[in-house]
Amino acid sequence: MIIAACFAFMATSAIAQTSSAGTKSGATKQTAKYYCPKCHAASDKTGTCAHCNAKLVKEGDYYCPGCGASSAKAGKCTACNKDMVKMTSKKA
């Protein structure tokens, strides 16, 4: 009497969340770029931003949009529990 079509939905619901494969490839000697997490000023060396004195984040690393903390991997900020954002050359 009852058509069990809904079973099909449940069978395919368990899709594992894929985190981007973190294989380190291309360890070439390229000049790393650094960006300010606050004003996105670019620099070719690490240090602090000339404008707002925030610690510069290396391109490809992650930073906290809340407090500007940086990390080499994604996750939550240890200081304020925000999601870390990947630093790219483009302003988000």
Contacts with Zn ion, residue ranges (CB under 5 A) = 36, 38-39, 41, 49, 51-52, 64, 66-67, 69, 77, 79-80
Which C-beta is closer to Zn ion: that of 77 or that of 87?
A: 77
Q: How far is the CB of 91 from Zn ion (least distance, A)?
A: 12
Which C-beta is closer to Zn ion: that of 32 or that of 83?
A: 83
Q: How far is the CB of 8 from Zn ion (least distance, A)?
A: 43
Q: To the nearest 10°, the Cα dihedral for 53, 54, 59, 62?
A: 180
Which C-beta is closer to Zn ion: that of 21 or that of 74?
A: 74
Angle 78-81-86 from CA coordinates, rounded to 5° = 85
The alpha-carbon radius of gyration of the chain (Å, integer) is: 20
